[in-house]
Amino acid sequence: MPVIRSISGLRATMPESLTQDLVINYAFAFASVVPDGPIVIGRDGRQSGEWIEKLLSDTLSEAGKEVFLLGIVPTPTVQLMVEQKIAAGGIAITASHNPAQWNGLKFINYQGVFFDFHENQKLWKALDEKSYSFPVVTKISPVVMNDGIESHIQEILNLPVFKNTKIPDKIRKRKFRVVVDAVNASGSVAIPSLLAKFGCEVHPLYCDSSGLFPHTPEPVPEHLKDLSKAVLEQKADMGIAVDPDADRLVLIDHKGIPIGEEKTIALAVEAVLSLKEYFTTEANPKIVVNYSTSRMVEDVASHYGGVVYRSPVGEINVVNLMKQVKAVIGGEGSGGVILPSCHFGRDSLVGTALILCLLANKGCSLHEASISLPHYEMVKMKMEFSGNISNIIDIVRKTFLGPRITIDDGVKLEFADSWVQLRASNTEPIVRIIAEAPTKMEADNLVYRLMDLVR
């Protein structure tokens, strides 16, 4: 399998591609491009992460860096700890939603956000040219930190919407029963701990932190059948699923039905805008999502006077535009919620807190909140692809006449009541084709037309 490096970091399969030499070289390159100061390291719980953690720690120490080891924590916890510890940067050891044979590295700058295009270019140049050297230093023993998750949760509880209102009391009165599937990875402790703070009755399903995935780790409906079953068996109010590094949040309603990962960000936006006085002083708050996210976000935003901006897919692309327009909330339709008043990173803990806030404040169930959203059908397909994406874009532009065409991220065609996008994945050697329309048949037709062009 190939080594994939992109704006989303490094991912490769174990052990043939993600080798010891590769990890060491990335560690030295990273140390050479970040400023002076300590480096924060956390891992998503995959069993291969432990040796990578030691390798990174030893190499960074050899390069003269002090290292803070968080252990098994969500990636957003690593980001937040970089901010809180005023560190030079951070590395999250994770392959996100990729299967167990994968692992990787996500690189975080001193602001607690992922490397952007220019920072990655600098990192890759140092890596490829091995243009780094370090003076001989006395190695500093790593500092083990066990309070990362606790600090993360406290940061959320300190948000004005929780600290300065009666909403936490409203949540506790609901005594939500919640089943949690953290695929035995980094959300195993974090999500149940947060829920407990809000007085929820937690039923852990796959939360043993072993890193042994009980099913394919991407939290999409076909992988969440055990969670749906457990929600019904426990007579729970909802189920929560997160991916291995717990930056994505997916929800199951009390009927055992996945509401759809696209609705996570739409409901989080509603939670913030319905209580916007605790998040912003602007009458028309700004929201940023990527081009692949459902238009439900525009519908929710318009109800509260919000304005939606779109960025290319990739957390750092969303974050950069959020900073530029001073957005109050943002995220991606894959279940990633970004709340800048907490920190600039996709965060399933933040998303969970906002969903509880919305349900308690509106006095509704997750099912009721879900069906209150405008209805669209979204179809997502992927195909193996290793060619030149620009060639396909040229063909698409010549084939479709009439729609608004955007080429900031692959190619997106927007019609009056539907859209379709084709783009190269940042994390796999594939192209993704996504369409949204009032009916599944319309969305299917858009996807298949583009798939025929790719073939």
Q: What is the token pair recorded at 76?
A: 């957003």
Tokens of 281: 């002083």
> Which residues fall within 8 angstroms of residue 57, CB to CB, at 6 or more apart?
41, 67, 69, 142
- Tell me what pLDDT residue 429 has: 76
Query: What's the fold here for domain 152-252?
Result: Alpha-D-Glucose-1,6-Bisphosphate; Chain A, domain 3 (3.40.120)
The three-state secondary structure class of 46 is: coil
Prediction pTM value: 0.94
C-beta neighbour count of 173 within 10 angstroms = 11
Domain 377-454, CATH among 3.20.20.210, 3.30.310.50, 1.10.10.10, 3.20.20.190: 3.30.310.50
Tell me which amino acid residue 197 is.
Answer: K
Among 347, 316, 317, 318, which Cα is nearest to 330's? 318
* Per-residue DSSP letter, 205: E
Structural domain boundaries in the chain: 4-146, 152-252, 262-347+361-371, 377-454
pLDDT for the residue 304: 97
Residue 351: which H helix or E strand, with range? Answer: helix 348-362
- Sign of the CA dihedral running 388, 391, 396, 402: positive
Cα–Cα distance measured from residue 342 to residue 328, given in angstroms and rounded to the nearest whole number: 11
* pLDDT value, residue 377: 96
Question: In the CATH hierarchy, which top-level class contains the domain 262-347+361-371?
Answer: alpha beta
Q: So what's the pLDDT on residue 1? A: 60
Q: Is 56 helix (H, G, I), strand (E, B) or coil?
A: helix
In the block, tokens 């209150």 appear at: 372
What averages of pLDDT result for each successive group of 10 residues across the chain (455 residues)?
86 92 97 97 97 97 96 98 97 95 97 96 96 84 96 98 97 98 98 98 98 96 97 98 98 97 97 97 96 97 97 94 98 96 98 98 98 95 81 82 89 93 81 95 94 83
**Count of other CB atoms within 10 angstroms of residue 269:** 29
Going by the DSSP 8-state scheme, the letter that residue 343 receives in this structure is: B
**In what order do the strands lie in the sheet containing 249-252?**
201-206, 177-181, 238-242, 249-252
What's the CA gap between 354 and 358, in Å, rounded? Answer: 6
pLDDT of residue 399: 85
d(CA 448, CA 228): 30
Distance CA 356, CA 353 (A): 5
Could you tell me the two tokens for 437? 């329309």
Confirm if 40 and 87 have CB atoms less than 8 A apart.
Answer: yes
CATH of domain 4-146: 3.40.120.10
Rounded alpha-carbon distances, angstroms, from residue 163 to 155, 332, 356, 415: 10, 27, 15, 43
* Per-residue pLDDT at 241: 98
69 SS3 class: strand
- Check if 4-146 and 262-347+361-371 are the same fold: yes
Could you tell me the CA-to-CA distances from 388 to 193, 317, 410, 454 in Å, in that order? 46, 22, 11, 11
